[in-house]
Amino acid sequence: MLIAKKWWGKVWPAVLAIAALLVPSVSQAVPLYARQTGMACEVCHFGGSFPELTETGREFKLTGYTWGKVNGLPLAGMVLAGKTSLDNTHGSADPASDFAHDKSSQLQQVSLFTGGRITDELGAFVQWTYNGVTQHSNMDNTDIRFASATQLDGKPLIYGATLNNSPTVQDLYNTTPAWRFPYAQPGGAFQGYGSSTLIEGTLAQQVAGLGAYADWNSHVYAELSAYRTADKIFSFLRAGQDTAANTYPLSGTNPYWRLAYHSASGPSSWMVGTFGMNAATYTNAQDSTSPVNHYYDTGVDGQYQLVEGANDWSVQASWVHEKVNWDASTGNNASDTLDSRRIKGSYYYNHKLGGSIGLFDVSGSQDATLYSDNTSQTPNTQGYVLDFDYLPMDRLKLGVQYTGYSKFNGASSNYDASGTLPGRNARDNNTLYVYGWLMF
C-alpha cells in the first residue's frame, strides 16, 4: 500500500484536475443515456460502477437504447489514466525495451460516445477512442440496433436487429468477452491474461456483424448473427484500424449464436447461457487467396446479481472452449484446443466503495510451433485480479488493481524458452495498477 500511495501521489493531481474542469458541467451535461432517460447512473449500472449492467440496464440495451428522448447533442466522453508497475524485470537485459512504459504515468484512453435514441425503434452505441499508449485513435465498440415488441403465445416478445463490430459487444451480460471483468486494465508493460480464443477479442473492431435477436417473456434470449470482414459499406466499423496489416480478418460469412435463460425477482436476477462462433481466417490476412484455418468457439456462462438498498452483490463466470483446425501448410499440429475460464465476484456499498476478485485460467494443447517460446510448449496461464474502487462523485472512479500469476505461458518458473528473458518466473509479471476513470 505504501508503494500504491507513492504512485497515486503522482497520478491523482492529473485526474482531479480533469474532474475539476468538468464538474461544473457534470450535474447538467451527464452521459448521454442518463441525460436521455433522466435516470441516475446507478439505475442501469451495478453498484453505480460502470460498465457492468443491472437488470434495468440490460433491458435498456435490449430495447435498442431508445427510452426517453434526445435532449441536445447526444455526446459523452471518457478519460482513463493510470500507472502500471511490474513486480520486477528479472531476466531482462534491456528493461526499457522489454517492458516499455513500466512505472510511468499514462493517459491510457480518451473516448467520445454518441448514439442513444435515433427514432422510436432505432438506437445506437458508438465509441471512438484515442489510445494514449499507442498514440493512435480508431472506431471502438459500436452497436446499432432496431428493436420492437409484440406478443407470442400471449407473452411479451421483444425482437430486433443489431449491426456491430465485435462479437459479443451486443450482448446484454458482462460475462461475455467484450464487456467482462476487469473493466479497466493496465497499460504499458502489463503482460496480459495469457492466450485468448478468437471470440475473446481478436476480431474486435475488425469485422461487421449483422444479426437478429429476440427475448420472450423476460426469460429466453436468443440471437443469431453473421460476421464478415468490415469492408466496403461496412468499412466505417473499423475506421482508423490498420487495414493494410489485417486486410482480411475473416473469410466469407461466419455464424455467431447466443442463447440464455434469465429471470429477475425483486432485487435479484440470474442467467445461464451459451454462446459461440464458427469462423474461418486466412493464413495470410493480406491475401484472400491463401488457405484458411477454421475456429470453433463455444462458451457457457452464468451470472447472479443482488441489488438491494446500499448493498450490491454480483457473481459471474464463463468458460470458452476453442478447437482450431489448422491448414496443413502452417506446420502446426493438425488441430489444437484452447480453454479460457473466468470467474469473478463483486461487492459495492452505497454506490461509493467496493471491489472485485477475479480468477483466470487458460489451458490448451501442447504445440511446438504455436508455443515455441514457452518452455512447456503450452499456453497454460493462471492468476487472479484484485480490484478496489472508490467513487467520490458520480461517474468518477478511483481504483487500485493487482494482478498476480501462479503460472504464465506454460510454467510457474523459467517460462521463456526464447532466451529473451532467461530465468523469468510467472510471479515476476505480477502487476500493480493505480487508475482514475472519469465519465462525463
Q: Summarize pLDDT for 89-146 with one digit per residue, the tens.
A: 999 999 989 998 899 899 999 999 999 999 999 999 999 999 998 899 999 999 999 9
User: What share of the chain has pLDDT > 70, as a percent?
Assistant: 92
For 296, the grid coordinates are 470453433
pLDDT value of position 40 = 87
Residue with cell 485480479: 385
**Could you tell me how far CA 290 lies from the centroid of its own chain?**
30
What is the C-alpha separation between 117 and 405, in angstroms, rounded?
43
pTM above 0.85, yes or no: yes
What is the C-alpha separation between 43 and 38, in angstroms, rounded?
10
Candidates 81, 82, 73, 60; CA nearest to 25 is 73
What is the C-alpha separation between 358 and 343, in angstroms, rounded?
6
Contact 388, 355 (CB under 8 A): yes
Please count the other Cβ atoms lying within 10 Å of the Cβ belonging to residue 377.
17
2-439 — its CATH code? Answer: 2.40.160
**DSSP string spanning 359-394?**
EEEEEE---TTTTTTBTTSS--EEEEEEEEEEEEET
Q: Summarize pLDDT for 356-407 with one digit per residue, the tens.
A: 999 999 999 999 999 999 999 999 999 999 999 999 988 899 999 999 999 9
pLDDT value of position 432 = 98
Tell me the pLDDT band of 21, cut-offs 50, 70 and 90: very low
Please count the other Cβ atoms lying within 10 Å of the Cβ belonging to residue 135.
8
Candidates 168, 174, 167, 194; CA nearest to 317 is 174
What is the C-alpha separation between 351 and 142, in angstroms, rounded?
27
For 425, the grid coordinates are 518466473
What is the C-alpha separation between 356 and 346, in angstroms, rounded?
4
Tell me the pLDDT band of 42, cut-offs 50, 70 and 90: confident
Residue 16 has pLDDT above 70, yes or no: no
Contact 15, 438 (CB under 8 A): yes
CA angle 64/200/420 to nearest 5° reads: 150
In a 13 Å sphere around the CA of 374, the CA atoms on its Cβ side amount to 23
User: What share of the chain has pLDDT > 90, as a percent?
Assistant: 82
For 380, the grid coordinates are 497454460
Candidates 160, 268, 311; CA nearest to 221 is 160
Q: Which H or E element spans position 437?
A: strand 431-439
Residue with cell 462525463: 440
CA angle 87/93/98 to nearest 5° reads: 60
For 132, the grid coordinates are 494514449
pLDDT value of position 136 = 94
What's the distance, Cα to Cα, between the start and end of the chain in Å?
A: 29
Tell me the pLDDT band of 329, cut-offs 50, 70 and 90: low
**DSSP string spanning 90-147?**
TT-S-HHHHTTTTT-EEEEEEEEEEEEESSSSEEEEEEEEEETTTTEEEEEEEEEEEE
On the 0-12 / 13-18 / 19+ scale of CB atoms within 10 A, 87 is middle
List, in sequence order, every residue forming a beta bridge with 223; answer none if it has no partner.
213, 258
- How much is the average pLDDT of 221-238? 97
Contact 204, 165 (CB under 8 A): yes
Q: Summarize pLDDT for 169-210 with one digit per residue, the tens.
A: 999 999 999 999 999 999 989 999 999 999 998 999 999 999
pLDDT value of position 70 = 82
DSSP state letter for 180:
P
List, in sequence order, every residue forming a beta bridge with 50; answer none if it has no partner.
none
Residue count (the chain): 440
Contact 253, 226 (CB under 8 A): yes
Residue 332 has pLDDT above 80, yes or no: no
